[in-house]
């Protein structure tokens, strides 16, 4: 089908600001369902052209729009804060055009996905379906530290001004070490008002509530396709949104018409079969555009594309590297199994005596605990590239596990394959000599050749142990229970491998360093060393909860 493109179409918002859109549609006169894609990354890229052309050739009008304050659009760019109203106005504008049937869908990934949700909760009447890929969560869900992550400054720098900034010319590794956090932006040569404003709101409050959506699924009444990858550095939001919509959407219609697609992908989904040193096989890259087309053909054109007759969850099981269909997430046949931390008191490093057991510590056993020192001046590294394009992957942590400030717990060598598919959580009993500190948890696959493959991880900041809206310092040397969200995975630990858990107090620069002083977050440079204790006695039985899936 031949297409036509109208560039720099001006779309007026309710306050008079006009946004710039490129409209891709079939040349043949007629009315077509519309797909609205709103982006801060400029509508002029080759990927934008390719995607707009693809859907236009298949009978859709595609509206690619620069968000407020970016590219050719008027106004000031303030990440997320104007997107709900602007999204509503853009959808209703598209629906009213003479080339549109009145049915509108939205799509896009990352920032483009989160602003779909911020739009959906405003309930534009013409919105009929969404495709949300690698969706960021509400504030503090994926960075539970009270302050933005160091890599967030890289993103803010990239989208500062009206055009894309070159992040590769900044020495980010040096910048991330800068203290206090509030002035880190000085090292980029461009001060960031957004960075400094976010530092001023180090807990969930009214400032952040304006751009929250994950507590408002009861306002959303549209079918949604949720797409992400197990190594997406914002992965946690996608399964949460699928669960939130299947359980809490506005209507039974919406609750029953959700799709979840999870691949073995990073934030840049479906681009390569290989990530780091792991090759997930030829089937790991799919015809994603074709899958998305079937979705929009069904919901915007009313065609029977067959997609809604398929199970609601399609997921890639790593380790055995196969796709599988399921009816729900978490999976219906999950066997929630606690693996308890055990040692004789010396679990420090992979050369220590830590082990994992499904048996609780014996009541009559000798009480033991593991201890390590956390020095913010020498944090445990999180393996990642310096820019925000992708944070971490299936990296090898065997060298980092040589450190004494990393506690390592391992099962015996597995005598058969073990599948872990679902959300991962840790119940951690710990104390600290400090009034505030962090605890980190990492789940890994320990290969027979020594490769320690990171699967997923999580962090808790002690002052936020009761919630991001209820900060309070801790009492030194008092035992607290910390619940650590380690996100999700789907992975088969093969026979001969071992399940491994790491415990520490830093994962830098994925998260900022807790300076252990209890001072206002992001404002100071003073730091102290913390003495940490991890407990695994009967009354304080630290354990990681793994979703074990029975194997046929």
As a whole number of angstroms, the distance between CA 476 and CA 456 comes to: 29
Residue 519 has pLDDT above 80, yes or no: yes
Q: Three-state SS string across 198-263, please? A: HHCCCCCCHHHHCCCCCCCHHHCCCCEEEEEECCCCCCCHHHHHHHHHHHHCCCHHHHCCEEEEEE
Give 281's DSSP letter.
-
Residues annotated as part of the active site: 110, 232, 267
Task: Determine if the peptide bond prior to 543 is cis (ω within 30°).
Answer: no
Task: Determine if the peptide bond prior to 387 is cis (ω within 30°).
Answer: no
Region 60-77 average pLDDT: 98
Top-tier CATH class for 335-549: mainly beta
Task: Work out whether the CA dihedral 362, 363, 367, 370 comes out positive or negative.
Answer: positive
* Kind plus residue range of the DSSP H or E element containing 420: strand 418-432
The DSSP bridge partners found for residue 279 are 274
Residue 57 has pLDDT above 80, yes or no: yes
Owner of token pair 């009816």: 327
Top-tier CATH class for 3-139+219-326: alpha beta
Are 132 and 224 in contact, with CB atoms under 8 Å apart? Answer: yes
Largest CA distance in the chain: 81
Structure tokens belonging to residue 322: 């196969």
As a whole number of angstroms, the distance between CA 140 and CA 144 comes to: 5
* Kind plus residue range of the DSSP H or E element containing 346: none
Structure tokens belonging to residue 12: 């007026």
pLDDT, tens only, 185-233: 999 999 999 999 999 999 999 999 999 999 999 999 999 999 999 999 9
Region 527-550 average pLDDT: 97
Cα angle, residue 302 at apex, residues 301 and 304 outer, rounded to 5°? 115
Region 33-57 average pLDDT: 97
Region 301-305 average pLDDT: 96
pLDDT, tens only, 146-184: 999 999 999 999 999 999 999 999 999 999 999 999 999
Report the half-sphere exposure of 258 (CA within 13 A, side-chain side): 29
Residue 264: exposed, middle, or buried by beta-carbon count in 10 A (0-12, 13-18, 19+)?
buried
Q: What is the mean pLDDT of the chain?
A: 97
pTM over 0.85, yes/no: yes
Residue 552 has pLDDT above 90, yes or no: no
Region 57-86 average pLDDT: 98
Question: Domain spans of the chain?
Answer: 3-139+219-326, 335-549
pLDDT, tens only, 348-389: 999 999 999 999 988 776 778 999 999 999 999 999 999 999
pLDDT, tens only, 89-118: 999 999 999 999 999 999 999 999 999 999
Report which of 312, 352, 319 is spatially closest to residue 495, judged by C-alpha positions.
319
- The pLDDT score that the predictor gives to residue 336 is 98
Give the number of other CB atoms < 10 A from CB of residue 166.
8
Region 312-322 average pLDDT: 98
- The pLDDT score that the predictor gives to residue 368 is 86
């Amino acid at each position: 089908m031949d297409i036509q493109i109208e560039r720099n179409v001006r779309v007026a918002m309710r306050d008079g600001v006009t946004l710039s859109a490129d409209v891709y549609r079939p040349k043949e006169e007629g009315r077509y369902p519309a797909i609205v894609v709103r982006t801060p990354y400029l509508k002029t890229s080759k990927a934008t052209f390719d995607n707009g052309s693809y859907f236009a050739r298949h009978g859709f009008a595609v509206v690619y729009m620069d968000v407020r304050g970016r590219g050719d659009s008027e106004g000031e760019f303030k990440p997320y804060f104007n997107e709900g109203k602007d999204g509503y106005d853009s959808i209703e504008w598209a629906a009213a055009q003479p080339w549109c049937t009145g049915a509108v869908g939205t799509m896009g990934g990352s920032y483009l996905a989160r602003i779909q949700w911020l739009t959906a909760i405003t309930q534009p009447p013409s919105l009929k379906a969404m495709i949300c890929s690698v969706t960021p969560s509400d504030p503090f869900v994926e960075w539970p530290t009270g302050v933005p992550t160091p890599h967030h400054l890289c993103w803010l720098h990239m989208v500062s001004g009206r055009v894309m900034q070159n992040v590769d010319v900044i020495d980010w590794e040096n910048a991330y070490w800068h203290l206090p956090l509030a002035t880190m932006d000085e090292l980029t040569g461009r001060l960031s008002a957004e960075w400094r404003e976010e530092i001023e709101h180090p807990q969930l409050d009214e400032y952040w509530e304006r751009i929250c959506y994950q507590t408002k699924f009861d306002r959303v009444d549209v079918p949604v396709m949720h797409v992400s990858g197990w190594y997406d550095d914002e992965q946690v939001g996608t399964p949460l949104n699928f669960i939130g919509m299947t359980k809490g959407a506005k209507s039974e219609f919406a609750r029953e018409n959700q799709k979840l697609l999870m691949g073995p992908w990073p934030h840049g989904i479906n681009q390569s079969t290989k990530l780091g040193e792991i090759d997930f096989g030829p089937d790991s890259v799919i015809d994603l555009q074709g899958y998305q087309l079937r979705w929009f053909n069904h919901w915007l054109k009313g065609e029977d594309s067959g997609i809604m007759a398929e199970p609601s969850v399609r997921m890639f099981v790593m380790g055995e590297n196969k796709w599988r269909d399921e009816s729900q997430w978490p999976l219906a046949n999950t066997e929630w199994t606690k693996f308890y931390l055990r040692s004789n008191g010396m679990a420090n490093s992979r050369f220590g005596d830590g082990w994992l057991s499904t048996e609780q510590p014996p009541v009559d056993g000798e009480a033991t605990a593991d201890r390590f020192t956390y020095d913010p001046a020498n944090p445990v590294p999180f393996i990642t590239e310096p820019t925000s394009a992708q944070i971490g992957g299936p990296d090898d942590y065997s060298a980092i596990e040589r450190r004494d400030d990393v506690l390592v717990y391992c099962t015996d060598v597995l005598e058969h394959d073990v599948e872990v598919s679902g959300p991962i959580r840790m119940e951690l009993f710990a104390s600290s000599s400090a009034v505030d500190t962090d605890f980190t948890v990492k789940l890994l696959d320990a290969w027979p050749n020594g490769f320690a493959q990171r699967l997923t991880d999580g962090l808790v900041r002690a002052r936020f142990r009761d919630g991001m809206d209820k900060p309070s310092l801790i009492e030194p040397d008092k035992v607290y229970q910390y619940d650590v969200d380690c996100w999700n995975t789907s992975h088969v630990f093969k026979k001969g491998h071992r399940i491994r858990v790491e415990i520490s107090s830093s994962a830098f620069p994925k998260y900022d360093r807790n300076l252990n002083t209890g001072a206002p977050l992001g404002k100071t440079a003073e730091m102290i060393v913390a003495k940490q204790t991890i407990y695994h006695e009967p009354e304080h039985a630290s354990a990681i909860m793994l979703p074990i899936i029975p194997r046929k």
